């Protein structure tokens, strides 16, 4: 499932290929989900706009768009154009294709570009979300929580010290940190040597700082490897990532810990499958 590294990989891929391109025509499916803004309004809003930049905010892919009719504005002008915001949910994919590529099942959006290419969004489970914002009427999109790659030690401690819930549950709360999902919560806790059920507020400052650094390290490593392909994740070109080969605990229930050979445990925490090593994590 797409978390920060996968979303970052896709955003970079789309940015590389489509920056400066123009949306000629937009087609949207008729399902109720995954549209946050009604599909007809998104299609109308997107057509005619140029793609100025594509970047990641939390687990969201944000396409920065020009004003509607030509005149691509400079990025620094901000607040004049529009944004197309893509959240991949569990099974969402955003792919750059050619028009003759057969339409995959569960395709919910198809943007035809001036270059002749297409940007397609598919999502079998429809947990993803597509949103359109006209910046002349709405504020720009911003993530609810801090970014795990840039959060400072003081900010991190301030977010987690007052919480009375398992640290694993706190890491998944997007209002605290934006971008951490089940895979990287488990992997960062393993690398920090902290058991997932421990209460956030009971961790020492040193443990919290170790966790912040482990989280940043694991996310940066995963980005370098193009993310984790555990179910069906692929980047903007349909290429799988490789970080799943580096997983120490996630989906390794019963397998020997890579560090101490103790079988990896799986428990349910905050409604999520949670994996850890009872020997390495205290």
Partner DNA sequence: GAATATTCCTGAATGC
Partner DNA sequence: TGCATTCAGGAATATT
CA distance 38 to 56: 23
- Helices and strands per DSSP (H, E), number in the chain: 6, 10
Q: Does position 247 bind DNA by CB under 7 A?
A: no
Residue nearer to DNA on the CB measure, 58 or 226: 58
Give me the catalytic one of 216, 240, 258, 272.
272
Q: Does position 83 bind DNA by CB under 7 A?
A: no
Residue nearer to DNA on the CB measure, 120 or 126: 126
Give me the catalytic one of 22, 56, 59, 191.
59
In the chain, the N- to C-terminal Cα span, in Å, equals 27
Residue nearer to DNA on the CB measure, 13 or 89: 89
- Note the Cα 62 to chain centre separation in Å: 11
Residue nearer to DNA on the CB measure, 137 or 164: 164
Among all chains, which residue has been given the structure tokens 């079988």?
Answer: 263
Minimum CB distance to DNA, residue 183 (Å): 7
CA distance 28 to 30: 7
- Note the Cα 145 to chain centre separation in Å: 13
Provide DSSP, 207-265: HHHHHHHHHHHHHHHHHHTT---SSS---TTS---SGGGG-SSTT-BTSBPTTT-PBBE
Report 205-244 residues binding DNA (CB under 7 A): none
Report 157-196 residues binding DNA (CB under 7 A): 163-166, 169, 172, 174, 181-182
Q: Does position 6 bind DNA by CB under 7 A?
A: no
Are residues 6 and 243 in contact, defined by beta-carbon separation less than 8 angstroms?
Answer: no
Q: Does position 74 bind DNA by CB under 7 A?
A: no
Q: Does position 271 bind DNA by CB under 7 A?
A: yes
> How many angstroms separate the Cα of 27 from the Cα of each of 65, 112, 203?
17, 8, 49
Stretch of residues binding DNA (CB under 7 A), selected from 45-53, 77-85, 148-156, 269-277: 269-277
Minimum CB distance to DNA, residue 164 (Å): 4
Residue nearer to DNA on the CB measure, 160 or 192: 160
Provide DSSP, 38-58: -HHHHHHHHTT-BEEEEEEET
* Number of shown-chain residues binding DNA (CB under 7 A): 28
Question: Does 272 qualify as catalytic in the annotation?
Answer: yes
Binding site residues, DNA, CB under 7 A = 1, 3, 32-33, 58-59, 87, 89-90, 105-106, 124-127, 163-166, 169, 172, 174, 181-182, 270-273
Q: Which residues are identified as catalytic? A: 2-3, 59, 272
């Amino acid at each position: 499932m797409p978390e920060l590294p996968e979303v970052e990989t896709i955003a970079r891929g789309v940015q590389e290929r489509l920056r400066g391109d123009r949306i000629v025509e937009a087609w949207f499916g008729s399902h109720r989900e995954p549209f946050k803004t009604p599909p007809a309004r998104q299609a109308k809003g997107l057509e005619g706009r140029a793609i100025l930049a594509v970047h990641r905010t939390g687990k969201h892919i944000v396409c920065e768009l020009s004003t509607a009719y030509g005149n691509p504005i400079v990025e620094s002008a901000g607040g004049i154009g529009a944004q197309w915001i893509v959240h991949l949910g569990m099974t969402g994919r955003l792919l750059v294709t050619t028009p003759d590529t057969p339409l995959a099942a569960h395709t919910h959006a198809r943007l035809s570009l001036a270059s002749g290419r297409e940007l397609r969004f598919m999502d079998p489970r429809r947990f993803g979300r597509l949103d359109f914002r006209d910046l002349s009427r709405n504020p720009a999109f911003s993530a609810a929580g801090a970014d795990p790659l840039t959060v400072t030690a003081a900010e991190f401690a301030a977010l987690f010290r007052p919480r009375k819930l398992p640290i694993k549950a706190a890491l998944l709360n997007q209002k605290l940190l934006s971008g951490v999902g089940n895979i990287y919560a488990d992997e960062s806790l393993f690398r920090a040597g902290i058991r997932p059920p421990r209460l956030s507020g009971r961790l020492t400052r040193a443990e919290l700082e170790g966790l912040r650094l482990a989280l940043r390290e694991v996310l940066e490593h995963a980005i370098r490897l193009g993310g984790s392909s555990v179910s069906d994740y692929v980047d903007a070109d349909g290429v799988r990532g490789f970080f799943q080969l580096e997983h120490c605990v996630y989906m390794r229930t019963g397998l020997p810990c890579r560090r101490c050979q103790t079988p990896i445990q799986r428990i349910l925490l905050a409604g999520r499958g949670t994996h850890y090593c009872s020997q390495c994590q205290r």
